[in-house]
Amino acid sequence: MTISDHSADAAAPAQADWIRRAQAVLPAGSFGNFPGDIVIESGEGARIRDADGRDYVDYLIGSGPMLVGHRHPEVIAAVQAQLASGLTFFANNPHGIALAEVIVDAVACAEQIRYVSTGSEADLYAMRLARAHTGRQKILKFEGGYHGMSDVALMSLAPKRLANFPEPVPDSAGIAEAVRGDVLVAPFNDLEAVRALVAAHGPEIAGIIVEPLQRLIPPEPGFLEGLREIASAQGIVLIFDEVVTGFRFGYGGAQALYGVTPDLCTLGKVIGGGFPLAAIAGPAAIMRHFDREAVGEDGFLYQVGTLSGNPVAAVAGLKTLEILRRPGTYAHIEAAGRRLQGAIRSAFAAAGVPVQVVGVPCLFDAVFTEAPVRNYRDIFHADRRRAMDFTRALRNRGVLKPDGKFYISAALTEADLALTEAAIAEAAPEVAAGAVTA
C-alpha cells in the first residue's frame, strides 16, 4: 500500500495565508503549543483536517483530551443541551457535582476534589497543598518530569545542561532565582537517589511529585512502591501527576494500573472531554485545607477560578467517562497501540535502525537509541534528529503526531491503523537514509 505524499501541497494558499497572519500577531507564529506550520480547521473521529483540506490520522488528539475522538456525537449532544441552559455561573452546578462524584468513585486516592481549569493549575495547587499540610517548603521532583508551567514545575523539565543532582536547572527565563532553593531533583527510576535526598532533607520536604509514567518512561518494578514507602515513613505528601495518565491508563488511571495509591493526584485532559477542566484529588484530611472553616486562617489554601467546574466542561467530561466505561473501550485502545508499536519495531528493524519503543500501548513513541531507556538522560542522549525526521515523514504521509509521543484514541478504525502502518513502513527507510523532506 502506498500513501500519497502530503508535502506537495505545503504552499497551498489557504493555509499559507493563515500562517502569514499568525506570524504577524502571535509570537513565533503559534499559540505556543504546537509548531505554527499547520492550521487545523476541523476534526471527526480519529481524523483532523488542515486549512488546505488535507486529512490526517490524528495522534496528537489535542495533546490528549480527545480520547474518545473528535466530535463524538454523544459528547456534542450533551454539550449542546447544556449550552441552552447556560455557559458558566461561578457557583456550584449539578453537572460539576455529579462529575466530582464519578471521579471520587473511580480514583483510589480521591475522597474529595477541587476543580481548576488546567493541568498546570492542578499541579501548582497540589504542591501548594503539600506545603500547607506539612508546614514544609521543599518539593522533590524528577528530571524530565512535566508538571505544568509554574516556576517549580519548570525546573529540570528538559534541561539542555545536565547538572549534578539534586541541583535544579530552570527551563525558562523569568523564574526567580529563589525558587531553586525549594526544589530538589532526582533521576527517575532511581530509588537510591531518592532515599539519599530524603535522608539529607527529609524534614524539609513537603511533597514528592511524579508522573507515574514519566512522559513515556514506565516506572521500573518497585519504583512507585518505593516512593510510597519513603513518603509514608517521612510524612511527605506523595503526588501522582495523572493529568495525562488519568482515565487513559484504564478507568482508575495509573494508580489503579500500578497498584500504588498516592496521597494526592492531579487530573486533567480526559476529564474535560475537550474543554478546559482539571482537578486536584485526595483524602478529606488533606483537601480540608481548601476549607477555611475547617482549618482556620493560617491553614487555609486560597483558590478560585472563573471557569472552575463550569457546566459545559462537566457535561463533556461526564459523557466522555461514560463512554470509556463501556465494555471493550480500553481493550480497543490497547490493541491499537500494540499494533502500532509492533509496526514501528518491524519497520526500523528492516531499515537497520536501532530503536526502542518506549511507553505503554495508549501512549508511546520511538526513541532512537540502542540503550535501554530508564530516565530523561537516556532520551537526552538518543538520536533527536531521527526522532524529528520520523515525525515529519509521518506527517508527509497523512499521519499527525507531536514530537515525543503517539496518543492513541478509542476512535481509531481499521482504515486509520492500516494507513498508519503503511506510513511507518514507508517512513523508516527514509529516516534511515536521512532523506526526509521538510
CATH classification code of 6-71+341-433: 3.90.1150.10
pLDDT, average across residues 15-43: 95
Measure the CA–CA gap between 116 and 3, rounded to whole angstroms.
Answer: 42
> What residue ranges do the domains of the chain occupy?
6-71+341-433, 73-324
Residue 211: the pLDDT is: 98
- The residue annotated as part of the active site, out of 52, 123, 182, 241, is 241
- The residue annotated as part of the active site, out of 269, 319, 401, 405, is 269
Measure the CA–CA gap between 75 and 81, rounded to whole angstroms.
Answer: 10
Q: Give 129-154 pLDDT, tens digit per residue.
A: 999 999 999 999 999 999 999 999 99
Whole-structure pTM value: 0.95
Q: Give 90-108 pLDDT, tens digit per residue.
A: 999 999 999 999 999 999 9
Measure the CA–CA gap between 260 and 242, rounded to whole angstroms.
Answer: 13
Q: Give 277-330 pLDDT, tens digit per residue.
A: 999 999 999 999 999 999 999 999 999 999 999 999 999 999 999 999 999 999
CATH topology of domain 73-324: Aspartate Aminotransferase; domain 2 (3.40.640)
Annotated active-site residue 241? The verdict is yes
pLDDT surpasses 70 at 158: yes
Measure the CA–CA gap between 56 and 54, rounded to whole angstroms.
Answer: 7
pLDDT band at 4 (very low <50, low <70, confident <90, very high): very low
Residue 349: the pLDDT is: 98
pLDDT surpasses 50 at 11: no
Residue 13: the pLDDT is: 65
Strand-strand pairing, 40-44 and 138-142: unpaired
Annotated active-site residue 146? The verdict is yes
pLDDT, average across residues 230-258: 98
Quote the percentage of the chain above a pLDDT of 90: 95
Q: Which residues contact 147 (CB under 8 A, 6 or more apart)?
A: 120, 123, 127, 141, 153, 157, 209, 211, 241
Question: Listing from the earlier edge strand, what are the strands of the sheet with 55-58?
Answer: 40-44, 47-50, 55-58, 399-400
pLDDT band at 435 (very low <50, low <70, confident <90, very high): confident
pLDDT band at 6 (very low <50, low <70, confident <90, very high): low
Residue 12: the pLDDT is: 53
pLDDT, average across residues 371-380: 96
- b/e sequence 86-100, b meaning 16+ C-beta within 10 Å: eeeeeeebebbeebb
Residue 1: the pLDDT is: 37
377 burial level (CB within 10 Å; 0-12, 13-18, 19+): middle
pLDDT surpasses 80 at 5: no
Residue 260: the pLDDT is: 98
| Mean pLDDT for all residues in the chain | 95
pLDDT band at 437 (very low <50, low <70, confident <90, very high): confident
- The residue annotated as part of the active site, out of 125, 146, 330, 407, is 146
Structural contact between residues 254 and 213, judged by C-beta atoms closer than 8 angstroms:
yes
Quote the percentage of the chain above a pLDDT of 70: 97
